[in-house]
Structure 1
């Protein structure tokens, strides 16, 4: 009869995890008396480890995972599409995992600031603790709910690369853009075309630092231009979807002194804002200019075409995949780094009526 770990655990009265720690030599977590008892049981029951299975668990399988927080947002799926191609270049397969979308409102119908986080904490924890054990070599994670305090390094299974504006200072390679500079450039552009009352949609307190970083760039540009910071023009973006942008734009148009430009912290909200402005019969950009962030493909075909901040999705994807594979293969051994990739200011008809797009690299 084949003896399994559960048999030794049942015989000794300890957990399967404790038995596994003894068998694998992880003695730091097991007391000497317990260790001696488990070793005696292993000998008495004639336990024989499955060497082939143990080698299989240690072998690389050629599969990476990209865990995204919001499958409804084209920005994340566009990144996933590019990553898939880049992974193939390295002879790896990329799997997409979904850490779930926005949380439901509280029973009273109100949405708390913490609910704006896209990801599920439990799902993100399961990702870093070992997504589909033995089937994944490493994970690229865009976290939305995790905090530094949630991460126990000893529980992280396998190489991990982070994307986005969270977990700064975590001991993993981290890829993102300079959000402050990007928002600064976007606001400077709106000022340069003569706009003076520039609203923002997406300025809310969340666990992600994206809103606060972008507000910082926005306010810096206004201050340099000696423009007043009007908090009435800084509007929450809800879940950062089209309907949230539309609702925020409807509110802004009810103000006694409405804005002459709106900077949306992602393209989905900007598309919602465009729809409301067009429905009201206002001219874009003459009456209200609209700026987005992310450069999703849909924005190029909006009416009018959407000006936006364009992160280099190709560079984000290529860098994240190469960093992860370097950790998997052991060729990248230096301390984890936080690496910024370039972005462009894509100027289209929603801010400047021009027959051709203008791209300003930064």
Structure 2
């Protein structure tokens, strides 16, 4: 399959196909969509080796995430690969494994044989912001650990999304709401998904006039299903009264559902549960798991688009850093009184705008 075949199917010139593959900005949106559809239908794969010889580029971008065992990151990788494929790019995925030295090494050197990097660290924090000034390759930050740096950043509405999750539980008449997922080292860290989501949890309780009980905040690390089950079992064994659980990830929520079932607690009659991430398996559990959809597809599409722009501009570009927070939805399923298929009860469709500067 050649570029000429794509051009014939899309009814454009080979030059236009090349412009779409290389993500040049001066292509009409309708034309771009037609070419991308033809590429998908024909299964066309650009010759990155030839292009690399001419431009010094490989046609490959990197994605570095903490671990693919966490379903959120596996599904994010899938979305990034799809977004890159639409632009004729391939993706190399690397696992950081929660290793700070590995993260610093990657930040210093990037991934070999790639044109740019989508970087989602777990052990770096705001105190490491200065390291970003020395990055000499195109990069877009993902996640919640470093804000205000000199690089583009795509993330989610952690605080307001968590607040919306707890507000949903409160709207169901729940008053003793536990949260599973606090991290043991987050007391000294301002940022990070755990702290930000705990902040949203506390804000929702305060707004509803519900007294905060720190005993209902359960520390869990790492965020795997078995850890969620263990935390829920300890919560049950503690004898504390609770009628709802907010888990900071769906993986923890899956474990919590298991532990509640083992203990004879009926969900949602006895205990309502809502998670965070809206991973695919959430609608297949019994009962299906309510969740926050954090806008994973939007995160992937926006991040890849930003990275391609940075690659085109060059690593030394003086253009200001941008921050984009993807819109979220509250997906209500059986675990908190909804249906198996789930429905969006609340949404943040309006906040997902790109700021031109990180402090803007």
- What are the Cα deviations for residues 111-167 of structure 1, in whole angstroms up to 9, with x where unaligned? xxxxxxxx211211222222344x110000111112344453564231111111111
Residue number in structure 2 paired with 1:361? 347
- 1:350 maps to 335
Partner of 2:114: 136
Alignment correspondent of 1:39: none
- The answer for the alignment partner of 1:223 in structure 2 is 206
Report if aligned partners of 1:185, 1:345 keep a CA contact under 8 Å in 2.
yes
2:88 and 2:339 map into 1 onto residues whose CA distance is 43
SS of equivalent residue, structure 1 residue 298: helix
Structure 1 partner of 2:148: 169
Which of 286, 299, 321 is residue 303 of structure 1 equivalent to?
286
Q: Is the 8 A contact 2:132 2:151 kept in 1?
A: no
Mark the CA change 1:154 to 1:349 in structure 2 (over 3 Å): closer, same or farther. closer
Q: Distance in 2 between matches of 1:153 and 1:309?
A: 30
Distance change (3 Å), C-alpha of 1:165 and 1:153: closer
Pick closer, same or farther for the CA change 1:56–1:149 going to 2, 3 Å. farther
Aligned-partner SS, 2:83: helix
Which of 63, 68, 71 is residue 71 of structure 1 equivalent to? 68
The 3 A distance-change label for structure 1 pair 269 and 356 is closer
**Kept in 2: contact 1:285–1:353 (CA 8 A):** no
Cα root mean square deviation, aligned: 2.0
- In the alignment, structure 1 segments of 5+ residues that lack a partner are 1-54, 101-118
Hey, what does 2:87 align to over in structure 1?
Answer: 90
Quote the residue 1:99 is aligned against: 96
| TM-score (structure 2 length as normaliser) | 0.76
* Aligned with residue 80 of structure 1, among 77, 80, 83: 77
CA contact (8 A) 1:241 1:268 kept: yes
Calculate the TM-score normalised by the size of structure 1: 0.76
State the 1:213 CA deviation: 1.1
Change (3 A) 1:228 1:261: same
**Residue of structure 2 aligned with 1:330, choices 313, 319, 327:** 313
Structure number with larger C-alpha Rg: 1
Q: Secondary structure at the match of 2:109?
A: coil
1:60 counterpart = 2:46: no
Is the 1:201–1:264 Cα contact (8 Å) retained in structure 2?
Answer: yes
Q: Residue 182 of structure 1: which of 143, 161, 168 is its match?
A: 161
CA 1:153 to 1:175, structure 2 compared with 1: closer, same or farther past 3 Å? Answer: closer
